[in-house]
Amino acid sequence: MEKTDVAVLGATGAVGQRFIQLLEGHPWFQVREVIGSSRSAGKHYGEAAHWVLDDNPPDDVAKLTVKALNDPLDSPLVFSALPKEAAIDREVELAEAGHVVCTNVSVNRMAPDVPLMLPEVNADHVGLISVQRYRRGWSGGALVANSNCTVMPVVMSLKPLLKYGIRRLHLVSEQALSGAGYPGVPSLDILDNIIPYVPGDENKMETESRKMLGRFRDGAIDELEMIVSATCTRVPVTDGHLVNISVELEEAPDCETIIKDWVTFRGPDPVPSLPSAPSSPLQYLEQIDRPQPRRDREAGQGMVTSIGRLRECPILGYKFAALSHNTVRGAAGCSILNAELLAVEGYIQGSPLAEVAMAK
């Protein structure tokens, strides 16, 4: 099957590079356009990108000429890893022009008509695209976001527990350095240190989790009514965000039942069959000292959330630790999985998969 052409905004940055890496050899998508800053525009990608990941950029992408942010694009599907300021207008302009934009940027996440997607958790929120197109007068474009990278392990681990009723959450994150981008946190600030503040992330943890775990009905998202308190910290780890979670439930299942809920959890159809979806999105680790970023972040090629240390909490009832790879599942990988869902549901015009979806 012919592949869908893809453009990557902010392609030379750390998350943009992760998009390039994960899209290499993708069965449905191929990178045809790379967009960078004015300093990079006009150069070959291999020259413009200071590659910070393992290996090197794919040869076919390295030869592409970097486009400027406001250059017209041909690709029907656009992935955005732009800085917040650059994304504010450009993402909406591209969606208005008919492109489907899957963004890792925070600026539009909490807009009422923008789906905040994690397919295993809220694939039905894709229905908000029709509302978005109607309200904004867009014929074929769309804007779909994925959440803050630290919210990922929280909502992934809580989704199977929704049936018990979630009342209150207390969250303490230990966030990797790559979450700050490149060059990120100065070495003299983070070596031999933990920074008990990550700008903006505590509010995102408290708001985005309620939207993602909410229900889509009557053309809107009814956010989950739960109380959330978050503390976010930066630790000297390269990749992998670990969150210590305490939760109060309306019901009182035993720990063995909760663990079974986690290990048997699967996303709704067609999510498990998508190319980037892991066969089991959650794993529970029995070792008392797991999950750990260095040992567990690459589970399922970085798309599996690892959970451990479930035990009783004398204040809220239950406590445990959850870990996700922040630049894979928490960023580029989730955006790609979102795009795969949009493709099979027929939302990407010009995609060969749209024709398959229309024929169903």
| Active-site entry in 99, 170, 241, 325 | 241
The rounded distance, in Å, linking the Cα atoms of 77 and 201 is 28
| Phi, psi at 129, each rounded to 5° | -60, -40
Strand 220-222 relative to strand 227-234, pairing: unpaired
| Active-site entry in 102, 149, 232, 334 | 149
Tokens of 167: 């009342």
> What ranges make up the beta strands (E) of the chain?
4-9, 29-35, 77-80, 100-103, 142-145, 166-175, 215-217, 220-222, 227-234, 241-249, 282-285, 305-313, 317-324
Residue 26 among the catalytic residues:
no
48 CB-near residues (< 8 Å, 6+ apart): 12, 36, 39, 40, 66
Residue 149 among the catalytic residues:
yes
Confirm if 6 and 40 have CB atoms less than 8 A apart: no
For the annotated catalytic residues, the residue numbers are 149, 241
